[in-house]
Structure 1
Amino acid sequence: MKKLVNIIVVTLMFLSINVYAQESIIGEIKYADLEKYISLAKENYPKAKAYNETISKAKNELPITALSYLDIFNASYFYRPDDRSVLDPINPYNVNGFQFGVNVNLGTFLQKPFNARKAKSDYKIAQYQAKEYELGLEVEVKKRYYNYIQQLSQLKIYTASMQDNKNTADNLRYKFEKGEISLDTYNQSRINLTSATTSKIQTEVNLLSAKDALEEIIGMKLADVK
């Protein structure tokens, strides 16, 4: 008797584990696939690309800002042939030949350090904004993936439910035709089947929408993901 009780307890434990596995989607989540989807979203999603371009643009501004220090200086020259008479013999700086000059724009000179610091700040800000968006993008990919897995699991449940209700309705129809059950009982089985079928169809639509949303953010079809 005791042995029989132990067998029954063990059997119930396995049944409980099986039911729990069917009611949970945790085991359906494939984290390797999820990491692939996150990586693809970072590569393909247009807004992610836009942030990457913003970083590149800000980074390219750094050497341009450094070279812009040359804008401070304005070099010029004047050439007067030697065979021409001097315009102003009294002025010792007004002579024939080449005359060179360099002008320094003081206002521009004072602005350059601020422009350089601004360029560095813009680069850092672009990096921080891209990182912030990247974190948000990861969360959004996970959300869409979990929803997709949820719809897959629900579709399995509603498909099984519809099949069970169909089997029950067919069985009760047979019994109704033999006069073993009432019309109300038979009609209720048909109502249950209709409800289960409707739930299955709605879940199929939800699954397609979840699949489209996931494919939209990773930039490719799920079937094409290696």
Structure 2
Amino acid sequence: MKKSLQIALILLMVTGLKTYAQESIIGEINYADLQKYIALAKENYPKRKAINETVTKTQNELPITALSYLDIFNASYFYRPESRSVLDPVNPYNVNGFQFGVNVNLGSFLQKPFTAKKAKSDYKIAQYQAKEYELALEVEVKKRYYTYIQQINQLKIYTTSMQDNKNTADNLRGKFEKGEISLDTYNQSRINLTNATTAKIQTEVNLLGAKDSLEEIIGVKLSDVK
């Protein structure tokens, strides 16, 4: 009789594990919510904002680079009052009045096309990096969301497991008090209940961590997402 009860207890545990193992979270995925979370992460996540600012910065440098072509020219003038005598009558270019001149920096002139190309390349690189990070951000949001859903379902499983083990332990307690089962069988039921309770508590902690992680990347509380 005692041996049959022990076998029944083991079969109950195995059957419970098989039942829990058959659970799936695929049907629990809400893709509409997931797209909202991705959009929020792209809008609120600080690193995404920093990368967007880099793109804007490199874009704004393009017209600045174009205008910098004027830097290669250096205009100057010299004014000598008409009432003054000419400094060098032999030099026809040394006269009274205004004298204008333009200097060209040859080094800057040769360098500007390469500077313009570099500015365009920097802008393209910033765009590619932003796109790459956007894809990585989507993957990260999905991963955190899936973990969150996983923890919700694991909590359901461990809650059911704990309740089943509690019912079994309570039932075997009555049998033990009547002398129908051994102390080892009753103790095993209590150990199973302790393990199930511990697993449930740990899963609750994991769920809270997964929720915090998801909220951190989307920038708002899940309860505030409409």
After TM superposition, the score normalised by the length of structure 1 is: 0.88
Alignment of 1:127-142 (within 5 A): 127-142=127-142
Q: Secondary structure at the match of 2:209?
A: helix
Q: Which amino acid aligns with 2:129?
A: Q
CA distance in 2: counterparts of 1:215 and 1:90, whole angstroms: 84
CA distance in 2: counterparts of 1:179 and 1:223, whole angstroms: 52
Conserved 8 A contact 2:20-2:157: no
Q: Residue 152 of structure 2 aligns with which residue? A: 152
CA distance in 2: counterparts of 1:113 and 1:65, whole angstroms: 10
CA distance in 2: counterparts of 1:188 and 1:72, whole angstroms: 89
Conserved 8 A contact 1:86-1:95: yes
Alignment pair present for 1:76 and 2:83: no
Q: Gaps spanning 5+ residues in structure 1: where?
A: 1-18
Alignment of 1:1-226 (within 5 A): 23-226=23-226
Q: What's the CA shift for 1:179? A: 2.4
Q: Deviations over 1:35-69 (max 9, x none)?
A: 11111111111111111011001100100001011
Q: Which amino acid aligns with 1:173?
A: R
Q: Residue 6 of structure 1 aligns with which residue? A: none
Conserved 8 A contact 1:21-1:27: no
CA distance in 2: counterparts of 1:142 and 1:150, whole angstroms: 12
Structure 1 segments, 4+ long, off by >4 Å, are 19-22
Q: Deviations over 1:70-129 (max 9, x none)?
A: 111111111111111111111111111111111111111111111111111110000001
Q: Residue 3 of structure 1 aligns with which residue? A: none
Conserved 8 A contact 1:65-1:116: yes
Conserved 8 A contact 1:52-1:130: yes
CA distance in 2: counterparts of 1:20 and 1:120, whole angstroms: 57
CA distance in 2: counterparts of 1:89 and 1:33, whole angstroms: 88
Q: Deviations over 1:163-205 (max 9, x none)?
A: 1111111111122222222222211111110010011011111
Closer, same or farther: CA 219–51 of 1 in aligned 2, 3 Å: same
Q: Gaps spanning 5+ residues in structure 2: where?
A: 1-18
Conserved 8 A contact 1:58-1:123: yes
Number of residue pairs matched by the alignment: 208
Computed over aligned residues only, the root mean square deviation of the Cα atoms, in angstroms, reads 1.5
Q: Residue 16 of structure 1 aligns with which residue? A: none
